[in-house]
Amino acid sequence: MLDEVPNRKVPMPTILFAVPALWPEYRDTLPAALAEAGIADATLVTEARPEDVDYIVYAPASPLQDFAPYTRTKAVLNLWAGVERIVGNPTLTQPLTRMVDPGLTEGMVEWVVGHTLRHHLGMDRHILNPGHVWDPTCPPLARERPVTILGMGALGSACADALRALNFPVTGWSRTEKPGQLHGEHGLRKALSTAQILVTLLPKTPETENLLNADRLALLPQGAAILNPGRGALIDDEALLAALDVGHIGYATLDVFRVEPLPQDHPYWSHPKVTVTPHIAADTRAVTSSRVIAENIRRGQAGEPFLHLVDRQRGY
């Protein structure tokens, strides 16, 4: 008869919260989420010896830049959806996850739907009407206003679903082949050619930088509106300004920029056909993102695959 093996309690992990500036937002929400996930006894700290750390909660603004000493660390859990500022770090050999947060997704959907409706309905003509012009021109119905979304990941797919629910015909384009979506250069040209409203939700990678250059902007229908809540580097700024000046692009609403905050002397601020929003289209919410972090730690402790694992080759 085999001897019975006594139950051994799995040691609780040490979690380093490596973003001091964000700690006040997570001081209460992250312990609560860890308790919900069944790991209430975890050690959650803002400072620790590298050899004691099992998980690192991270954001690119963190002072931690050298991951080499963290030999015990099972994963680096990013609080942001974007990972371009960390994925190329040569000292990062641990698994890296990105944030796919329900609260962030909801915020993005609201921003995209709100500004799509703004341009579709021509709201600015009535809100900004200093001459008190009586113009009873009605917009077309949503089903007559084609929208294209570049980037059909979690955020793009959620925005597409919301717009389709309002009867907008939505064309999706992805860098890689996905069922029901256009892809590749031929697919991109086709997607741009019908886009009366274009939404860019791609990550920043070497392949996506300046994706919307002068040649591709010229493929858009005359008077098209561009919404960019994705990454500033997706658009060639000089090419966009030129297309706006000649009237080929009717309007651009931009939430992300190559340099943030956007410099006060940047021409976007004063251009009559540009709206600048200060990187507010989507934000990581502490309550919902804490649950995502806690679930990934639970998975790591249970030996299960991490959620939202970053592909280092693709860059996201």
pLDDT band at 11 (very low <50, low <70, confident <90, very high): confident
Q: What dihedral do alpha carbons 161, 219, 250, 140 form, nearest 10°?
A: -50
The set of catalytic residues is 231, 279
User: What average pLDDT does the segment 213-220 reach?
Assistant: 98
The pair of structure tokens assigned to 280 is 């507010």
- Give the pLDDT of residue 3: 39
pLDDT band at 2 (very low <50, low <70, confident <90, very high): very low
- Where helices occur in 71-193 by DSSP H, the ranges are 102-121, 123-127, 154-165, 184-193
- Give the pLDDT of residue 9: 52
The pair of structure tokens assigned to 254 is 């931009």
pLDDT band at 1 (very low <50, low <70, confident <90, very high): very low
Q: What is the pLDDT of residues 231-263, one digit of tens each?
A: 999 999 999 999 999 999 999 999 999 999 999
Cα gap 187→193, rounded to integer Å: 10
* 192: Cα separation from own chain's centroid: 21
Domains, the chain: 14-101+284-302 (3.40.50.720), 102-276 (3.40.50.720)
Q: Exposure of 222 by Cβ count < 10 A (0-12 exposed, 13-18 middle, 19+ buried)?
A: exposed
Q: What is the pLDDT of residues 22-45, one digit of tens each?
A: 999 999 999 999 999 999 999 999
The amino acid at residue 182 is L
Predicted TM-score of the model (pTM): 0.86
User: Mean pLDDT in the chain?
Assistant: 94
The DSSP-derived string for 224-256 is EEEEE-S-GGGB-HHHHHHHHHTTSEEEEEE--
Cα gap 298→258, rounded to integer Å: 36
Cα gap 137→184, rounded to integer Å: 38
315: left (phi over 0), alpha (psi -120 to 50) or beta: left
Q: What is the pLDDT of residues 271-288, one digit of tens each?
A: 999 999 999 999 889 999
ω into 261 cis (within 30 of 0)? yes
Q: Is the pLDDT of residue 6 over 50?
A: no
- Give the pLDDT of residue 8: 43
